Amino acid sequence: MSIAIIGGSGLTALEGLEIQRQQMQKTPYGEPSGPLTFGLLNNRDIIFLPRHGNPHAIPPHRINYRANIWALRENGVEDIIAVNAVGGITARMSPGRLVIPSQLIDYTWSRQHTYYEGDGNEVVHVDFTCPYTPELRQQILHASKSIGLECRDGGIYGATQGPRLETAAEIKRMENDGCDLVGMTGMPETVLARELGLNYACICVVANWAAGKTDEIIKMDMIEKNLRDGMIKVRRLLSAAIGQAQG
Ligand code: HPA
């Protein structure tokens, strides 16, 4: 067993997954968002975990990211493909697009964001220059080409605290910082995978224009509709990417 998919908003269940069993995994950090689902996707063994739980009930700031990543590692996972709903900030990041981000900026606060708490052990600073594993990113991009699915290569993901959406001024500041996308769940999930030595890449689904990018206010029903449409593409992409995975 080596590959896991973490589902985000709009991907609470993975259609096409032939479920074999479910298992609740205890960890030193408490319980993950729900049981791990073991199954076959495109004839490969995978583990699926919806980070908001099923039903979708855990808000971004209450997700036990440490337990989720730990539980996957405990079950032999080496590669994680995460799916995240985002708002689009820069011009090409329009609703409906799929993007494989290449960098991130962390604006979250007061989340349990490390396994290296000190506790009398040696101080550890992991390298995070490239937050997403380049080979896994390429595998996903290659899969998108192989099925003729448009998928943007690169972009900077800004992780915000939520659960509220941002103000227009906050988005302007993020844009000045270089962010292309805004989402609430990218951190600390990404760095925790790095701390445990796992490969990690992310498929972002643009659900809406970020705050202040249009004259309209952001409505949940519009987000949900764009996510429903986007997830049809994500399922195809995941299946193709898993089919190409090594091991
Ligand atoms: N902001 C933050 N997170 C999001 C958004 C947004 O506009 N859309 C979907 N997730």
Detail the DSSP E strand segments found in the chain: 3-7, 18-23, 36-41, 44-50, 79-88, 98-100, 103-106, 152-153, 156-159, 181-183, 199-209
CA distances in angstroms from 8 to 25, 26, 119, 138, listed in the order given: 19, 21, 32, 21
Calpha distance 137→153 (Å, rounded):
9
Compute the distance between CA of residue 199 and CA of residue 3 in angstroms, rounded to an integer.
9
Among 86, 170, 206, say which to mutate for ligand 1: greatest number of ligand atoms within 8 Å of CB: 86
For the chain, how far is it from start to end, CA to CA, in angstroms?
Answer: 9
Distance 184 CA to ligand 1 centre (A): 7
Instruction: Express each pLDDT in 108-155 by its tens digit.
Output: 999 999 999 988 888 889 999 999 999 999 999 999 999 999 999 999
Ligand 1 centroid distance, CA of 107 (Å): 13
Q: Over 80: is that where the pLDDT of 244 sits?
A: no
pTM listed for this prediction: 0.96
Report the nearest-CA residue for atom 3 of ligand 1: 183
- Count Cβ atoms within 10 A of the Cβ of residue 148 and give its class: 0-12 exposed, 13-18 middle, 19 or more buried: exposed
Mean pLDDT calculated for residue range 178-187: 98
- The vertex-200 CA angle with 172 and 112, nearest 5°, equals 65
CA 133 to the chain's CA centroid: 13
pLDDT tier for residue 245 given thresholds of 50, 70 and 90: low
**CB-based burial label for 173 (10 Å; 0-12, 13-18, 19+):** middle
pLDDT number for residue 14: 86
Highest CATH level, class, for 2-112+123-244: alpha beta
At 224 the pLDDT is 93
Q: What is the 3-state secondary structure (H, E, C) of 167-198?
A: CHHHHHHHHHHCCCEEECCCCCHHHHHHHCCC
Give percent above pLDDT 70 in the chain: 98
Mean pLDDT, the chain, whole residue set: 95
pLDDT in tens, 36-50: 999 999 889 999 999
Pick the closest to residue 55 from 5, 111, 4, 9 (CA basis).
9
Pick from 238, 230, 204, 234: nearest CA to 100: 204
Ligand 1 pocket, Cβ-based, cut-off 6 angstroms: 85-87, 160, 165-166, 182-184, 207-208, 210, 223
Run of H or E including 224: helix 220-244
CB 152 within 8 A of CB 98: yes
